[in-house]
Structure 1
């Protein structure tokens, strides 16, 4: 029996989960939610009480797609886990999922994942990992088994980037089959390599290969052709498949059609594909927006946003990659030679919230689904994504009407720019609680030290069944 008052009570809270909302006092003990008391009852005594009146309380964000301390060719991102996890907490994200991607052919998938796991020991928030396979050999099944035992139950593969991270179709099919055996999830970066390679080389021959031409070198067709091909392979072996950073409505529609046929397929997009379009490459700082896929036309973005508002997109992840402007500007003359990726773990919450809530009829519950609940459920992350008794005390308090303007220099991601510079956004966290610790409050950060826990993820099908807490809350 617990003795003494709980460590924390968040009083008078309007708790918003993906499945509904309620008024409650949230009682936190030992890093978990001990009780949700009816808000009509007196506020329980606690070591610390936060009055949430006038604010919404949602589950801490789960960012299923981050790249931390990533090495890509001769470029290395400038962050480490201390920096990125701190920025995540500032942005209302309490769990990040990184990738163990082999640096070259000499590094095995298992070694790459274990290296990241070791680097993550300084994380300030909880974290999990995806594995990655580039080339199949007879050792891969055993490595995937070891990763699953260690709680790494997903594997990312790239259908492009020949000579570096690309996996061929044979490798993708074999890994998918093994992930079915291990009740895991296959992550796919989908861009058709032959189309990308040919298009890029044609632009290089024509002298139109600078950053301002990035969208032309990676057409929408390349993304959709790859999604269609991968869905066919996933259907063939019965594998659940998750597509990262989808940037076109056509790609999202292909996944939706597959789901109607009974496939387990999921669409992820990123804040920059919802909030920015390809006119940024004609502006003063096109290098700020070097990422793959690139930003799309205003018409495509409008259609993607419509799919987002309709619920066809399952998660929004940052695809956080922390390069700085000096790295970006080394080779703006050639998109093949410059680093691609944007900082975004800290701004995922306000960009996503603002974009979604601009649509008539949009609900905060829908935001919670793509920001927290969906990523936790699809990625089989236990204890996350729901404000309910027995779940981790990962909480975000915010005023949905408060607006702030993005100042890249005031952010905490370890770089010197934000692709959302100057944008007025709503949905900034005011108070962030991570594992029961108040880490963000009143515009300040209380560094908890390297307390982040590695989250041992469950099986995909095992975890996709709604939990008792979810069913109870929906009743």
Structure 2
């Protein structure tokens, strides 16, 4: 018996994915929220019926690691790159913002631009580089709702192509003292690469004539990351501060995080699709700067450990580390690191992970929607297909193969997966009940995205919900 009320939309004939399983059901949507997940026969009439055709229906992805800027006006980049997010099934992006001075002066204008130009929903992390900014962390949380702060422990030598500033341990230690007081959504985030080692090794590799992707990766080897990771865990333990490690590339991190979490510490690892699928000796990337990224690409042994970390739950999130930077073609040492990744994040993980049997589809929902939403204060409205949540959904086609290129990603910025055939592409992306992408066409308008307001934190809630 159908209910007497009506709803706006029913997404029918889908295989609904959550971290705990897959169920055949329909999703009813009204006023941008999910009002029921049940057999279609018991749902109300709807103004629109979308047939998922037996495909997987995932929660709209929450990408915890996005950089938007790259020297272009934010009014342009916020619109163009979040259109790519819609193509990739991403309905919420957590983007990093940086400032040479106080964010109190620079961020309000960026926030207003985001409100008028984004196509998907957003929240923010701040990159901290000065002690002045450290002292202002409580104000950033109070005035802007920003509670996650990233620090470059090293890896960006003077004169680096994108002008990032590393911090010393004093800045990091002082910041941890501030961040630990921010409640369950406060995170110290660390880019782990030792800059002194990078400078030394880069000089040696250049002297030996290295000029390809493998040479670049040799200038930033695994131990450069491992050293800073262990130091960050140690400092966070001293300060009792929650630690989030973006773009993890090394297998050692999996065991280090596992050991810390077994001791009751809060250490969360994130990795990225390119570290799961690409290696430093990839012949397709060898002769160009397209695969240049920091930390650098590794080898298959590290990849295997990252997949294990995902399966066992020690790696909690997957982020794109999307960087919209044009490639100059000048060579590996002059090229800026980073590449576009929003549109390809989901198909890479589905192709390399689910279709190759490395992880289950439930793990995709967990690490690419559920976990990042909970970690950064976006739950319960984001990250899950459940009653009361925002109607953020993505229907994926696991069968059709597409070759990565600008016609598919709808981005002017190059992808490290250019020319690679992938499956698991979204056919429809829904954000708060509105279809923003369908069958190759972006339908959302700039300014339709919203800045997500975090709920008031429950101070009594157990912090390390994810700990083993």
Instruction: Say yes or no: TM over 0.5.
Output: yes
TM-score normalised per structure 1: 0.88
Displacement of 1:413 in angstroms is 2.4
Residue 156 (structure 1) aligned with residue 150 (structure 2): yes
Q: What corresponds to 1:175 in structure 2?
A: 175
Q: What corresponds to 1:363 in structure 2?
A: 360
Displacement of 1:414 in angstroms is 2.7
Displacement of 1:304 in angstroms is 2.6
Q: What corresponds to 2:233 in structure 1?
A: 231
- Distance change in 2, residues 1:219/1:130 (3 Å): same
Displacement of 1:23 in angstroms is 2.9
Bigger Cα displacement from structure 2, 312-321 vs 402-411: 402-411
In structure 2, C-alpha distance between the alignment counterparts of 1:442 and 1:300, rounded to whole Å = 36
Q: What corresponds to 1:413 in structure 2?
A: 411
Displacement of 1:177 in angstroms is 1.0
In structure 1, C-alpha distance between the alignment counterparts of 2:70 and 2:149, rounded to whole Å = 16
In structure 1, C-alpha distance between the alignment counterparts of 2:205 and 2:358, rounded to whole Å = 43
Q: What corresponds to 1:472 in structure 2?
A: none
Residue 452 (structure 1) aligned with residue 449 (structure 2): yes
Q: What corresponds to 1:49 in structure 2?
A: 49
Q: What corresponds to 2:124 in structure 1?
A: 129
In structure 2, C-alpha distance between the alignment counterparts of 1:173 and 1:18, rounded to whole Å = 35
Aligned length: 451
Bigger Cα displacement from structure 2, 419-428 vs 234-243: 419-428
CA contact (8 A) 1:123 1:450 kept: yes
Displacement of 1:282 in angstroms is 7.5
Query: Where do 1:394-473 residues align within 5 Å?
Result: 394-415=392-413, 417-458=414-455
Residue 324 (structure 1) aligned with residue 326 (structure 2): yes
CA contact (8 A) 2:307 2:359 kept: no
Bigger Cα displacement from structure 2, 281-290 vs 434-443: 281-290
Q: What corresponds to 2:190 in structure 1?
A: 188
Bigger Cα displacement from structure 2, 215-224 vs 423-432: 423-432
In structure 2, C-alpha distance between the alignment counterparts of 1:78 and 1:341, rounded to whole Å = 21
CA contact (8 A) 1:79 1:413 kept: no
- Distance change in 2, residues 1:252/1:4 (3 Å): same
CA contact (8 A) 2:393 2:430 kept: yes
- Distance change in 2, residues 1:463/1:250 (3 Å): farther
Residues 58-80 of structure 1, C-alpha deviations (whole Å, 9 max, x = no match): 10000000000145xxx999961
Residue 309 (structure 1) aligned with residue 307 (structure 2): no
**3-state SS of the aligned residue for 1:225?**
helix
TM-score normalised per structure 2: 0.89
Displacement of 1:448 in angstroms is 3.2
Displacement of 1:159 in angstroms is 0.6
Structure 1 unaligned spans of 5+: 467-475
In structure 2, C-alpha distance between the alignment counterparts of 1:463 and 1:400, rounded to whole Å = 42
Displacement of 1:440 in angstroms is 1.6
**3-state SS of the aligned residue for 2:16?**
strand
Q: What corresponds to 2:385 in structure 1?
A: 387
In structure 1, C-alpha distance between the alignment counterparts of 2:118 and 2:324, rounded to whole Å = 16
Residues 167-203 of structure 1, C-alpha deviations (whole Å, 9 max, x = no match): 1101111111101112211111111222112212333
RMSD between aligned residues: 2.6
Q: What corresponds to 2:114 in structure 1?
A: 120
Bigger Cα displacement from structure 2, 402-411 vs 428-437: 402-411
Q: What corresponds to 1:14 in structure 2?
A: 15
Displacement of 1:16 in angstroms is 1.0
Residues 254-294 of structure 1, C-alpha deviations (whole Å, 9 max, x = no match): 12221111111111111000110011368554311011111
Residues 367-422 of structure 1, C-alpha deviations (whole Å, 9 max, x = no match): 1111111111111213110000110000011233333332244322232x321123
Bigger Cα displacement from structure 2, 176-185 vs 161-170: 161-170
Q: What corresponds to 1:33 in structure 2?
A: 34
Bigger Cα displacement from structure 2, 395-404 vs 54-63: 395-404
In structure 2, C-alpha distance between the alignment counterparts of 1:67 and 1:464, rounded to whole Å = 31
Displacement of 1:357 in angstroms is 1.3
Q: What corresponds to 2:161 in structure 1?
A: none
CA contact (8 A) 2:324 2:339 kept: yes
CA contact (8 A) 2:373 2:382 kept: yes
In structure 2, C-alpha distance between the alignment counterparts of 1:3 and 1:136, rounded to whole Å = 60
Displacement of 1:211 in angstroms is 4.8
Displacement of 1:458 in angstroms is 4.6
**3-state SS of the aligned residue for 2:46?**
coil
Q: What corresponds to 1:291 in structure 2?
A: 293
CA contact (8 A) 2:67 2:322 kept: yes
In structure 1, C-alpha distance between the alignment counterparts of 2:252 and 2:319, rounded to whole Å = 19
1:142 to 136, 146, 149: 136
CA contact (8 A) 1:151 1:458 kept: no
Displacement of 1:210 in angstroms is 5.6
CA contact (8 A) 1:78 1:322 kept: no
Residues 334-372 of structure 1, C-alpha deviations (whole Å, 9 max, x = no match): x2x431111101100010122221454732111111111
In structure 2, C-alpha distance between the alignment counterparts of 1:240 and 1:142, rounded to whole Å = 19
Displacement of 1:239 in angstroms is 0.7
- Distance change in 2, residues 1:444/1:225 (3 Å): same
In structure 1, C-alpha distance between the alignment counterparts of 2:212 and 2:80, rounded to whole Å = 31
Residues 315-349 of structure 1, C-alpha deviations (whole Å, 9 max, x = no match): 11000001223x3x13x15x2x4311111011000
In structure 1, C-alpha distance between the alignment counterparts of 2:216 and 2:458, rounded to whole Å = 39
